[in-house]
């Protein structure tokens, strides 16, 4: 488990995995502004239990989560609570960007492995396979949906130094990235920082 | 595999699973109106591949799908295409209703197993476990989202006899329910009908 109180950096277009104990906090910081971090959480004691967009949104009755909102697992247990949020706009609809995202949406012929590939590589050591990766909680991702149901991926509202803080409600394995998709990050790739408390 | 051209009925608050071959069509009919059917699809040759809300919405750039829209898997392959749609409003944000839904949202002390339990029971014969059940494509479910991101679950827009038709793009195992949640179905429980062509 990483030591508490030390700020760590995720380099642009990369990802990490680490353990977070019940009761610990995780702060995700956007050091330069307008950068997304995809966050996954697995039950450290049983990685079949994983963060669930569908359950969380159903219980919240809203698609945008912020301070005070819990993130539920596929078994309807609270995994994390959001306890501080300086930005107030995150996405929980879309899967991590991947080779397929860059092929289908961007038309790239030699696509980057994206947050999906970065998460899969970082989480492999905990026994997580690609098929076990669900829709992530996309920290700072800004996806406004209009009344017709169409949406746009706009630059994040996060300013340099803004953060969001979670508290773990069970022992967790966390996957976290500095997002690899131009569209999500206002056209550039930047680092993400994180700290356990 | 079920025979083609014969209409079958799913009784209220129950569910079925069956195989659908590549190229076959599946028509889901709401015989009485205002009834939801939760639909899941797995690759029949490898049930680790499953319908994915997060990928489908990302590639569609919208949350409401209709005629002409593909439903993608977690591996970014097209599993089904919507080829006819008399209703035009379905949900792809929320997980199947479950014991936990009825406990958390409705406050039930002895909750029904819901679409989640019905799908798990019906799909068990194909090797699908509860943890493998993702957000379903909720046929006829009416979930308008406002600009703030809040949503309501309103009665379906489907009238008696309305249908939606899909064509399979790979050999599939399908899970399908007559939904068990009062809120989703305008306050009553009704059957769903389906037909393979």
Residue A3 has a pLDDT of: 82
How far, in Å, CA of A179 to CA of A188, rounded?
Answer: 10
Residue A165 has a pLDDT of: 98
Report if residue B113 sits inside a domain.
yes
Closest-CA residue of chain A to B73: A131
A–B interface: beta-carbon pairs under 8 A: 104
User: How high is the mean pLDDT of chain A?
Assistant: 96
Q: Looking at the complex, report in whole angstroms how far the Cα of residue B170 sits from the nearest Cα belonging to chain A.
A: 18
Question: Is the model more confident about A30 or about A182?
Answer: A30
* Banded model confidence at residue B116, pLDDT cuts 50, 70, 90: very high
* Banded model confidence at residue B8, pLDDT cuts 50, 70, 90: very high
Question: In this complex, which of A54, A101, A134 lies closest to B93 when CB atoms are compared?
Answer: A54
* B59–A105 CB contact, under 8 Å: yes
Contact B56, B138 (CB under 8 A): no
- % pLDDT > 90, chain A: 87
DSSP assignment of B146-181 equals -TTSBB--B---PPTTEEEEEEESS-EEEEEE----
Q: Give the C-alpha distances (Å, rounded to integers) separating B160 from B66, B87, B164, B183.
A: 19, 11, 13, 18
* B148–A62 CB contact, under 8 Å: yes
- Kindly report, residue by residue over B40-75, the tens digit of the pLDDT: 999 999 999 999 999 999 999 999 999 999 999 999
Contact of A106 with chain B, judged by CB distance below 8 Å, is answered with no
* Banded model confidence at residue B4, pLDDT cuts 50, 70, 90: confident
Closest-CA residue of chain A to B94: A54
SS3 at position B117: helix
- Kindly report, residue by residue over A91-133, the tens digit of the pLDDT: 999 999 999 989 988 888 888 999 999 999 999 999 999 999 9
* B58–A131 CB contact, under 8 Å: no
* A148–B100 CB contact, under 8 Å: no
- % pLDDT > 90, chain B: 87
Report if residue A1 sits inside a domain.
no
What residues make up the domain containing A188? 8-196
- Kindly report, residue by residue over A37-91, the tens digit of the pLDDT: 999 999 999 999 999 999 999 999 999 999 999 999 999 999 999 999 999 999 9
Minimum mean pLDDT range among A11-25, B105-119, B167-181: B105-119
A 10 A CB-CB count for A110 gives: 7
- Kindly report, residue by residue over B75-84, the tens digit of the pLDDT: 999 999 999 9
Sign of CA dihedral B89, A101, A184, A31: positive
Report if residue B3 sits inside a domain.
no
ipTM of model over 0.90? yes
pLDDT of residue A1 exceeding 80: no
Q: Looking at the complex, report in whole angstroms how far the Cα of residue A74 sits from the nearest Cα belonging to chain B.
A: 7
* B95–A131 CB contact, under 8 Å: no
Place of tokens 């798990």: B120
Q: Give the C-alpha distances (Å, rounded to integers) separating B117 from A72, B20, B49, B120, B186.
A: 18, 22, 20, 5, 21
Q: Looking at the complex, report in whole angstroms how far the Cα of residue A91 sits from the nearest Cα belonging to chain B.
A: 11
Residue B5 has a pLDDT of: 82
Closest-CA residue of chain A to B74: A131
Q: Which residues of A touch B152 (CB under 8 A)?
A: 61
pLDDT of residue B1 exceeding 80: no
Over residues B108-133, mean pLDDT? 95
* Banded model confidence at residue B183, pLDDT cuts 50, 70, 90: confident
How far, in Å, CA of A102 to CA of B92, rounded?
Answer: 23
In this prediction the pTM is 0.95
User: How high is the mean pLDDT of chain B?
Assistant: 96
Contact of B75 with chain A, judged by CB distance below 8 Å, is answered with yes
Report if residue A3 sits inside a domain.
no
* B100–A55 CB contact, under 8 Å: yes
Residue A5 has a pLDDT of: 82
Over residues A169-190, mean pLDDT? 94
Q: Are strands A192-196 and B70-72 parallel, antiparallel or unpaired?
A: unpaired
Over residues A147-168, mean pLDDT? 97
Report if residue A133 sits inside a domain.
yes
Report if residue A146 sits inside a domain.
yes
Q: Structurally, how many domains does chain A consist of?
A: 1
Residue A115 has a pLDDT of: 95
Report if residue B179 sits inside a domain.
yes
Contact of B88 with chain A, judged by CB distance below 8 Å, is answered with no
Question: In this complex, which of B61, B93, B133 lies closest to A57 when CB atoms are compared?
Answer: B93
Q: Which residues of B touch A61 (CB under 8 A)?
A: 150-152
Report if residue B1 sits inside a domain.
no
The token duo for B52 is 């994915």
């Amino acid at each position: 488990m990483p030591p508490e109180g030390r700020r760590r950096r995720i380099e642009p277009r990369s990802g990490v995995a680490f353990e977070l104990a019940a009761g610990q906090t995780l702060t995700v910081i956007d050091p330069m502004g307008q950068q997304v971090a995809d966050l996954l959480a697995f039950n450290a004691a049983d990685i079949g239990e994983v963060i669930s967009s569908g359950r969380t949104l159903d219980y919240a009755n809203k698609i945008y989560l912020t301070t005070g909102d819990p993130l539920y697992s596929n078994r309807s247990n609270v995994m994390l609570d959001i306890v501080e949020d300086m930005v107030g706009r995150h996405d929980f609809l879309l899967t991590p960007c991947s080779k397929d995202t860059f092929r289908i949406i961007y038309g790239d012929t030699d696509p980057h492995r994206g947050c999906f590939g970065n998460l899969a590589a970082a989480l492999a050591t905990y026994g997580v396979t690609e098929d076990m990766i669900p829709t992530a909680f996309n920290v700072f991702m800004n996806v406004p949906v209009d009344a017709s149901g169409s949406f746009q991926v706009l630059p994040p509202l996060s300013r340099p130094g803004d953060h969001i803080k979670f508290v773990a409600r069970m022992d967790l394995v966390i996957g976290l990235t500095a997002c690899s998709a131009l569209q999500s990050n206002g056209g550039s790739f930047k680092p993400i920082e994180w700290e356990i408390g």
